[in-house]
Amino acid sequence: MVVTKQISLESKGHCHIIDITPEVEKKLAEADVSQGTVTLFVTGSTAGISTIEFEPGLIADFQDMWQRNVPTDIPYQHDRAWGDGNGHSHVRASLLGASLVVPFSNKKLALGTWQQIVLVDFDNRPRSRQITAQIMGE
């Protein structure tokens, strides 16, 4: 059995990290499936999905890591060609990955207590985001 749902949200961009766990749990509660996987996939090439302990310190630490390893203030060919100024956003998104698969059993996601599912929006402006949450199982 397959149930395909959409999660829509507004992000501020600039490495905005949004906890989507409550939305994912809500979609799972609505679906008539007790055991299986939730596949999360963000449409667009400047955002990614992962898990993190969602607390202010780690949010800042994760953002700092991106700035150190895929800086905003170095030249990008993408920006030279298109003038978007978001070359770093694309590169970060490709490295993090657009999808995450989380198994569940008895309608409970396999997450730890301090492990939340997050959207990371790397774009350099606010964006409306669509995340597909596809529930598959029995």
* Candidate list 10, 12, 26, 95; residue touching a second copy; CB under 8 A: 95
**Interface segment toward a second copy; rule CB under 8 A; list 8-16, 23-31, 82-90:** 82-90
* Candidate list 76, 119, 124, 127; residue touching a second copy; CB under 8 A: 76
Query: For residue 7, how many other CB atoms are within 10 A of its CB?
Result: 18
DSSP secondary structure code for residue 2 in this structure: E
Q: Whole-angstrom distance between the N-terminal and C-terminal Cα of the chain?
A: 6
Reduced to 3 states, what is the DSSP secondary structure of residue 23?
Answer: helix
Does position 10 bind a second copy by CB under 8 A?
no
The residue type found at 105 is: S
Query: For 68, left (φ over 0), alpha (ψ -120 to 50), or beta?
Result: alpha
Does position 61 bind a second copy by CB under 8 A?
yes
Does position 9 bind a second copy by CB under 8 A?
no
Residues in the chain, total: 138
* Candidate list 12, 26, 58, 67; residue touching a second copy; CB under 8 A: 58
Contact criterion met (CB below 8 Å) for 69 and 122:
no
Does position 67 bind a second copy by CB under 8 A?
no
Does position 57 bind a second copy by CB under 8 A?
yes
In whole angstroms, give the CA distance from residue 39 to residue 108.
Answer: 14
Summarize as ranges the residues that interact with a second copy (CB under 8 A): 1-2, 4, 35-37, 39, 41, 43-45, 50-53, 55-58, 60-62, 65, 68-70, 76-82, 87, 90-91, 93-103, 105, 110-112, 114-115, 132, 134, 136-138
